[in-house]
């Protein structure tokens, strides 16, 4: 089946890297660290793709850079096609931070055609994850050739994103190295606090209920880290609606799993998932997000940390746990967020 499956965080299918692919992480790291210092004393110009990455970059860079997000919030980042006008922005960009892992291929294609020769295209996910740890599953089958790219919903991997951003900015803008180091240290401390809070909150969820059926398959790496199980996602790899047969099988899976809730998306409402919840007689919670930040730009919770806190509290409480440790963390930005977030 393409729409669902039984995939625990620890049982998802990583591949064994052959020589042709084993250098992917090393090549991405080399590309990220290839940037030369900005020589004319101007502010560094940064592009970014999905909003969680934009938020991470903004917290490390602070108000020392001009940061422009390229993928509007509330769109499907897997299929988003940037407008030709984005080429003009890319032509003035010094470094573009993308997720990689084949998430934003149309945007990457436009970038490779329009970025200046001196610019850096840094794919944070590809640089973070060894190929042998790629997860392929029901929504991202190995035969499709695209691994699950949602590393940022897993705090230890998001922490690595921040470290890579820090190192790239220090290399390209050494005059502000101290500020980038300080910002990154403070921000990584907050990601570590989020991680610890999630560990504590997970312990309050009954072990038999740490199971996720979601609209979009965005929590595979999260599940592997915290010992949760992803039992399915209703959005197939081709982003069509699941068939009636697939829906019937998902209903049976939910009944067998005994979970009290399943999770939909606030960005992409799903009558199918609502039907599954009603037929399986479980609570349907339709507010999860994977790359659309809560609120509007400028709001206190409109950030990567705000996104993760919101999603984790929603999942923990709906599955019978206590989210007080997550509610207590400080999600405020460590510095001024001056990034442009397209809506």
**DSSP per position, 25-75:** HHHHHHHHT-PPPP-SSPPEEEEESSHHHHHHHHHHHGGGEEEEE-S-TTS
In this structure, the answer to whether residues 163 and 248 fall within a common structural domain is no
Distance CA 3, CA 238 (A): 9
* Mean per-residue pLDDT of the chain: 91
Q: What would the mean pLDDT of 189-194 be, rounded to a whole number?
A: 98
CATH assignment of the domain containing 316: 3.40.50.1980
Phi and psi at 263, nearest 5°, equal -125, 125
Distance CA 161, CA 150 (A): 12
The answer to whether position 149 is within a domain reads yes
More confident residue, 74 or 326: 326
Name the residue with tokens 């039984």.
Answer: 6
In this structure, the answer to whether residues 271 and 184 fall within a common structural domain is no
**pLDDT of 319 above 50:** yes
**pLDDT of 150 above 90:** yes
Angle at CA 48, nearest 5°, toward 327 and 33?
A: 105
Q: What would the mean pLDDT of 33-49 be, rounded to a whole number?
A: 92
In this structure, the answer to whether residues 187 and 234 fall within a common structural domain is no
In this structure, the answer to whether residues 173 and 43 fall within a common structural domain is yes
The answer to whether position 334 is within a domain reads no
Q: What is the CA radius of gyration of the chain?
A: 20
**pLDDT of 267 above 90:** no
Distance CA 108, CA 99 (A): 10
Name the residue with tokens 């809506």.
Answer: 343
% of the chain surpassing 70 pLDDT: 92
Distance CA 269, CA 265 (A): 6
| Tokens read off for 29 | 């790291």
Predicted pLDDT at 238 = 62
Would you say the pTM of this structure is higher than 0.85? yes
CA-closest candidate to residue 56, choices 327, 308, 265, 288: 308
In this structure, the answer to whether residues 217 and 321 fall within a common structural domain is yes
**pLDDT of 303 above 60:** yes
Angle at CA 98, nearest 5°, toward 173 and 131?
A: 110
In this structure, the answer to whether residues 64 and 175 fall within a common structural domain is yes
> Of 173, 193, 213, which marks where a domain is finished?
193
State pLDDT tens for residues 102-125.
Answer: 999 999 999 999 999 999 999 999
Predicted pLDDT at 3 = 47
Least confident span in 66-70, 101-105, 114-118, 136-140: 136-140
In this structure, the answer to whether residues 79 and 56 fall within a common structural domain is yes
The answer to whether position 2 is within a domain reads no
Predicted pLDDT at 41 = 83
Least confident span in 194-208, 261-275, 324-338: 261-275
> Predicted confidence band at 7 (pLDDT cuts at 50, 70, 90)?
very low
Q: How many residues does the chain have?
A: 343
In this structure, the answer to whether residues 25 and 112 fall within a common structural domain is yes
Element (H, E) at 214: strand 211-214
Domain count, the chain: 2
In this structure, the answer to whether residues 322 and 234 fall within a common structural domain is yes
Residue 164: which domain range? 14-134+145-193
| Tokens read off for 103 | 């998430």
The answer to whether position 1 is within a domain reads no
Question: With contact defined as beta carbons under 8 Å apart, do 237 and 2 qualify?
Answer: yes
More confident residue, 249 or 293: 293
In this structure, the answer to whether residues 121 and 213 fall within a common structural domain is no
**pLDDT of 18 above 90:** no
């Amino acid at each position: 089946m393409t729409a669902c499956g039984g995939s625990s965080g620890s049982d998802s299918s990583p591949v064994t890297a052959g020589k042709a692919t084993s250098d992917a992480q090393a090549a991405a790291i080399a590309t990220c660290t290839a940037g030369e210092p900005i020589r004319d004393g101007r502010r560094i110009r940064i592009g970014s793709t999905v909003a969680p990455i934009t938020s991470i970059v903004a917290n490390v860079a602070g108000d020392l850079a001009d940061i422009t997000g390229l993928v509007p919030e509330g769109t499907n980042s897997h299929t988003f096609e940037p407008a030709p006008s984005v080429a003009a922005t890319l032509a003035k960009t010094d470094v573009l931070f993308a997720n990689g892992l084949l998430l934003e291929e149309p945007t990457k294609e436009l970038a490779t055609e329009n970025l200046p020769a001196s610019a850096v295209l840094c794919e944070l996910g590809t640089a973070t994850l060894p190929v042998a740890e790629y997860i392929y599953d029901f929504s991202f089958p190995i035969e499709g050739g695209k691994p699950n790219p949602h590393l940022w919903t897993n705090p230890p991997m998001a922490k690595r994103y921040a470290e890579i951003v820090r190192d790239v900015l220090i290399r390209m803008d050494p005059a502000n190295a101290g500020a980038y180091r300080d910002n990154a240290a403070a921000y990584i401390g907050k990601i570590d606090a989020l991680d610890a809070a999630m560990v504590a909150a997970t312990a309050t969820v009954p072990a038999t209920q740490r199971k996720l059926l979601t609209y979009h398959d965005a929590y595979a790496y999260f599940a592997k880290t915290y010992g949760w199980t992803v039992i399915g996602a209703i959005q197939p790899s081709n982003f069509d609606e699941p068939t009636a047969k697939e829906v019937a099988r998902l209903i049976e899976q939910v009944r067998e799993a005994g979970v009290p809730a399943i999770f939909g998306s606030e960005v992409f409402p799903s009558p199918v998932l609502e039907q599954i919840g009603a037929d399986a007689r479980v609570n349907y919670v339709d507010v999860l997000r994977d790359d659309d930040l809560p609120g509007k730009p400028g709001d206190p919770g409109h950030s990567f940390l705000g996104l993760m806190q919101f999603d984790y509290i929603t999942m923990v409480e709906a599955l019978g746990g206590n989210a007080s440790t997550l509610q207590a963390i400080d999600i405020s930005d460590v510095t001024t967020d001056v990034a442009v977030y397209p809506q």
